[in-house]
Amino acid sequence: MRQQQYRRLWTARTISQWGDAFNTVALVLLVYSLTGSGLGVSGMVIAEIIPVLVLAPLAGSLVDRLPRVKVMITADLIRAGLAFALPFVDGSVFNVYFIAVGLSAASVFFNPASQSVLPSIVKERDLVAANSGLWTAAVISQVVLAPLAGVVVGVFGYDWAFWINAASYLASAAALLRLKVPAHPARAKRSTWYRDAREGLSELAGHRLLRALATTQFLAALSAGATGALLVVLAQDHLRLDEASFGLLIGAIGVGAAIGPLILSRITDNPRRPGFVLGPFVLRGLVDAVLATITGLYSAMVALVVYGLGTSTGAVTFNSLLQAEIPEKLRGRIFATFDMLWQSGRLLSLLLGGIAADLFGIRAVFYLGGALLLAAAWTGWRGLRNTPATI
């Protein structure tokens, strides 16, 4: 936080996440009020995922072609306009879905640009601490502001929640205007976005470490999509908990996710240590198996605190490793590809998880989720073990 450029990036991302907390709660409540069905709410998840799958190759190419800060500012301004328009179309669920798709599409460009900028403004030894700061701010924003968003919707209506989100994007864009990032080298020759995207995929497929980490990402998404969405089923059918107790489980995850990066940044600053990168996957896999075995509320809460800790520390070290290793000219394309792998695995997991729960029971889903996370850790370990320190 002593570094001025990092403070500006941290401020921009944190403020926009404040607005996201209001937007997420308000959108779910609005869609449910318009459709009256869980299927309608599930459509919001699909609206978030589809733009990533469709636009990620184009987004990655543009992020590597254009000034990344300008890409982020443009995405923020587009999201601000869409969020501001939501109150004027909130009587039509089709229009709400349409704007949700637009918000997600703009984020497809913002996210890889943001990930690519960070290693340009902090040293490698600061990446773990820098990512920890961003992650902790995001988790605390969600935990603190999500309940407040529900109050705002209940007292003032949906409009104010959406306008708060629009204002947060404008504030984020204003903070980014002063962010100075070293210009990346000009390209030797012009190329089409299709060739750029193909080059990024070729680099990813041809390098042992990136290929292993991509597989790790996909396997983890196959696990987390189903277990995250079906935690409520596990709580009711296996743990025999009521709605209030389920809220305690969600809170336990938030506590672990908030404290994880604070602990991590105090014990290591090396983003290439396999134990810190892949250990969290093992930890989460074991917790999934424990949750499918135990039956007590308090033991489940303790396990989910550990799960949240593993989720946050794993995200920080995994991103830090990628930022340290990916060549500057390829960052946008590689990060966009990893986003696409995560969302495609998550979508597939959501589709198959429900079927598996009906056929084999919810405990089988969590045992399988744990096995997938252990497989993810093993795959990543092989890649790290057989790869030189730098690309």
Token couple for 222: 């196959």
What are the tens digits of pLDDT across the range 186-203?
554 567 777 887 888 888
Instruction: Please state, in angstroms and rounded to a whole number, the distance separating the CA atoms of residues 179 and 127.
Output: 17
Tell me the average pLDDT across 24-30. Answer: 82
What are the tens digits of pLDDT across the range 32-69?
788 776 666 667 778 888 899 999 989 999 999 999 99
Tokens 């209030």 sit at which residue? 244
- Give the count of alpha carbons within 13 A of 202, CB side only: 6
Rounded to two decimals, what is the model's pTM?
0.88
C-beta of residue 265 within 8 angstroms of C-beta of residue 276: no
Question: In the chain, what are the domain boundaries?
Answer: 4-176, 193-385
What are the tens digits of pLDDT across the range 332-345?
999 999 999 999 99
| 129 pLDDT above the threshold of 80 | yes
Tokens 């966009």 sit at which residue? 336
Amino acid in the structure at residue 41: V
| Cα-based angle 351, 357, 362 (whole degrees, multiple of 5) | 130
What are the tens digits of pLDDT across the range 204-244?
888 888 999 999 999 999 999 889 878 888 888 898 887 67
Give residue 321's pLDDT. 93
* Equal CATH topology for 4-176 and 193-385: yes
What are the tens digits of pLDDT across the range 257-294?
989 998 998 899 888 888 999 999 999 999 999 999 99
Task: Find the range with the poorest average confidence among 108-112, 192-196, 311-315.
Answer: 192-196
The closest alpha carbon to 316, from 176, 130, 172, belongs to: 130
Provide the pLDDT confidence category of residue 364 given band limits of 50, 70 and 90: very high
| Cα-based angle 230, 234, 239 (whole degrees, multiple of 5) | 160
Give residue 236's pLDDT. 83
Provide the pLDDT confidence category of residue 29 given band limits of 50, 70 and 90: confident
Instruction: Please state, in angstroms and rounded to a whole number, the distance separating the CA atoms of residues 14 and 319.
Output: 17
CB count within 10 Å of CB 92 equals 10
| 304 pLDDT above the threshold of 80 | yes
Residues 6+ away with beta carbon under 8 Å from 195:
none
What counts of helices (H) and strands (E) characterise the chain?
A: 14, 0
Q: Per CATH, is 193-385 categorized as 1.20.1250.20? A: yes
What are the tens digits of pLDDT across the range 133-187?
999 988 888 878 878 888 888 888 888 989 999 999 999 999 999 999 887 655 5
For residue 345, the 8-state DSSP code is H
Give residue 390's pLDDT. 45
Handedness of CA 195, 199, 205, 211 (dihedral sign): negative
Q: What is the mean pLDDT of the chain?
A: 88
CB count within 10 Å of CB 24 equals 18
- 4-176: CATH topology: Growth Hormone; Chain: A; (1.20.1250)
